[in-house]
Amino acid sequence: MKDLSGFTLLPGRLDPSAQAALVDAVLTAARTAPFHHQVTPGGKAMSVEMTGLGPLSWVTDARGYRYEARHPLTGEPWPPMPPVLQALWAELADPAVPADACLVNLYREGARMGPHRDQDEADFGFPVLSVSLGDTAVFRLGGLKRTDPTRSVRLASGDVCLLAGESRLAFHGVDRILAGSSRLVPGGGRINLTLRRARPA
């Protein structure tokens, strides 16, 4: 599915074995870069647990939103990004300039992500590539203004979507996950991987 906004959905882009391998890779990385609830500059804890992969990952605290090269709790560099993710980026996003950040969001039952725009990167010409693993998410996509109309899209395990073009700065979020719709993630829930190019090319 592709519309004029530049939002592209590739249902089932990753087969079950690739999904399982990615979940294993993420959970292995989380042993040294643990999932944790970050806090917004306003002091509100996010319901989603987060970690990261690659040279950089996104963090939030009282100092604001930004990309950092080290895990905020351990002080250690983020674990490397699995090659399969870089290959997916090269195929679908940009073959010449690699992604340098992969945010890993863990949605347990009841977690959500309010409407927001991804705007902490240096160059909005690079898309955001999202990989869904585990429980289905009810994803909401809007426009360039918070008040623009929105539409709801279900993102199932193995789905890949791309926010490019006009949709690159569209407001979007996750209303809820459909608990129990997948058994892929141990303990239930959804893992969302979002690849970005945070630094200038």
| Structural domains of the chain, with CATH | 7-196 (2.60.120.590)
Alpha-carbon distance values, 188 to 53, 110, 179, 182 (Å): 21, 11, 7, 7
Using CA of residue 14, residue 15, residue 18, residue 19, what is the dihedral sign?
Answer: positive
- Mean pLDDT for 19-44 is 97
Check whether 128 has a pLDDT greater than 70.
yes
Check whether 63 has a pLDDT greater than 80.
yes
Average pLDDT, the chain: 96
- Mean pLDDT for 5-28 is 97
Give me the residues paired with residue 45 across strands: 39
CA distance 120 to 8: 21
Residue 116: exposed, middle, or buried by beta-carbon count in 10 A (0-12, 13-18, 19+)? Answer: exposed
Check whether 51 has a pLDDT greater than 70.
yes
Report pLDDT for 5.
Answer: 81
Q: How confident is the model at residue 2 (pLDDT cuts 50, 70, 90)?
A: very low
- Alpha helices of 41-145 — where are they, by DSSP H? 83-92
Report pLDDT for 4.
Answer: 45
- Mean pLDDT for 116-133 is 97
Check whether 91 has a pLDDT greater than 50.
yes
User: What is the reported pTM?
Assistant: 0.95
Token digits of residue 29? 């990385």
- Yes or no: say if 106 and 48 are a contact pair by the CB < 8 Å rule: yes
Token digits of residue 25? 């890779």
Q: How confident is the model at residue 183 (pLDDT cuts 50, 70, 90)?
A: very high
For the chain, percent of residues with pLDDT exceeding 90: 98
